[in-house]
Chain A
């Protein structure tokens, strides 16, 4: 189902939701940079820049309390955080590279352990995606099988039109319900044409072949070659819409405190540091290898999906210019070279 939503009505829609007590989260300027955050009113929304951090934080916050403890004498009282208390949310202005990562994350958060913190937010959040009309040369969504108009992960999907309004695709029951609640703001699609979509320049990867190459190259000179210069920070993982590793720590005093869950990154040396002192990923290239393996092999092995949506954030912010698109392009080239015509990928 397609509807037309004028620019004015789009903002009215958000203000209507806000005044109705719905939490509306959208990109907005926060201490000088665009980040997803709850809007006080619709005009705070900034749609012309990709937020520095991805939309994953709407479901998997940078840091959250999962339990608190209090001790009095011999009595210890534990209090769970109740996911039921999470607010109904509409997440707006989500680019396809961010939106598509959300269903990818469903795999790991609803696997052997059902992560209620993630899943309850998923249930309570309606995602309004936004087609992408500008790309830089760090963008590569099309190389990983997505597109600037991909509706995966969106409940409603807006395509900017030449008249300033939007064509609104209804992609799910949740999206349909939201439109039904505010139907007077929508009308039938008119004659205004969609703005030209972004055109990322990185040639498409053959993800099957890339995975095939990775299957057989846990040890390879590529890792030292590309990752010797990695300085071992967590910036790439933290800005990534799909990276989802976290740490759990207790913070507080002997008397009271909280158990907290916060983002972690495989680039940190401490990530695999064992209590014994042994570290199986003792050098940075081994840690960087894990980043590529997890995104293009392990996650595919386990959940049948690629853990990268080509948003390009890690490419833009890596302190030492490590470019995952260049690395996977190189792997893609090697994978195709080592595949005999019509045969299986060498492992």
Chain B
């Protein structure tokens, strides 16, 4: 039986976003609002940056509102008009990225007007955006969501969230499976996955934490990482990416969603998150921290690796 997810409140959420976006733009509280509008295809949704109250009527929120819009507030997206405070629609997972960006001094809270979404989940993929949301096509991150109601926003539509159906974490199960393999088997698995990589860098471009003005992979003096889509360069890139996000990635899973080759990238991120939780009792995205566990030293840190 297909387990349908109750998202009947998304219509009300969308209407609340339209009203609030029109109000804050109309009153001059913000100069732009980053949100979602409908696309051409049935059920499709796309990010939109609106700058006038009149445009607010186009805004929507559905199970296809998958994007983490925080990427539009990062240095990598300098083209977005930044003449004043910016409104942004955030799901709980998206907010974690903003919290991280604040901790890394990329954004300041007072620059933002946060419209939070009481979220019951979104689609894993937007290849078929009109599909009704079920346990089968629900984004894996939503199965283990701990932030259905984003906290500390400027506005959250008042809605009684339907009680979520408890679902098993597919990431935890898959990580456990991979941990159970021998190193050679695990290496074979990742080699096969990375062999599909075409170096389109969609994973990098949608990541709110990939805000380096020039990525290591785009530098050629020195050439740290081979640029061609071959085993050496692909593996190097995905290891660099996983390590650079350790302790920072809060699991929006956009990298995995957008990968046109279906490489399970968030598995690497979740594995890193698991290590950080075990080693440092640290979870990214809940509080504005200036320093994460990998950028500081504390005496109680695990030192068992020093032999």
Contact = CB atoms under 8 A, between A and B. Distances in A.
Interface of A: 30-33, 35, 52-53, 62-63, 136-138, 228-229, 231-235, 237-239, 247, 249, 251, 260, 262-263, 265, 268, 270, 283-285, 315-317, 319-323, 325-326, 329
Nearest to A64: B228
Contact of B228 (A31, A262, A323): A262
Given A231-B205, A233-B200, A320 B46 contact: yes
Interface string B227-249: 11110110000000000000000
B41 A265 contact: no
Interface stretch (B18-26, B160-168, B257-265): B257-265
Contacts of B40: 137, 323, 325-326, 329
Given A234-B201, A268-B201, A326-B39, 18 more contacts: A31-B196, A31-B262, A62-B198, A63-B230, A228-B79, A231-B206, A238-B260, A247-B227, A251-B232, A263-B229, A315-B41, A317-B258, A317-B260, A319-B67, A319-B205, A320-B46, A321-B44, A321-B67
B126 A235 contact: no
29 contacts: A137-B40, A228-B79, A229-B49, A231-B76, A231-B202, A231-B205, A232-B205, A233-B200, A233-B204, A233-B206, A234-B198, A234-B199, A237-B200, A238-B260, A251-B226, A251-B228, A260-B230, A262-B228, A262-B229, A263-B199, A284-B79, A319-B205, A319-B206, A319-B257, A320-B47, A321-B39, A321-B45, A321-B46, A323-B41
Given A30-B196, A263-B198, A319 B258 contact: yes
B154 to A, nearest CB: 23
B201 to A, nearest CB: 5
A229 B46 CA distance: 9
A238 B198 contact: yes
Contacts of A283: 79
B291 interface: no
Given A52-B260, A62-B229, A285 B79 contact: yes
A289 B49 CA distance: 19
A137 B41 contact: yes
Given A251-B228, A319-B254, A233 B192 contact: no
A191 to B, nearest CB: 36
A136 B42 CA distance: 10
A32 B262 contact: yes
Contacts of B204: 233
A31 B201 contact: no
Contacts of A260: 228, 230
Contact of B47 (A35, A229, A284): A229
Contacts of B80: 228
A315 B41 CA distance: 9
A233 B201 contact: yes
B128 interface: yes
Contact of B46 (A63, A234, A251, A322): A322
Contacts of B281: none
A30 B192 CA distance: 9
A80 B260 CA distance: 33
Contacts of B198: 53, 62, 234, 238, 263
Contacts of A249: 227-228
B202 A233 contact: yes
Contacts of B49: 228-229
A63 B230 CA distance: 7
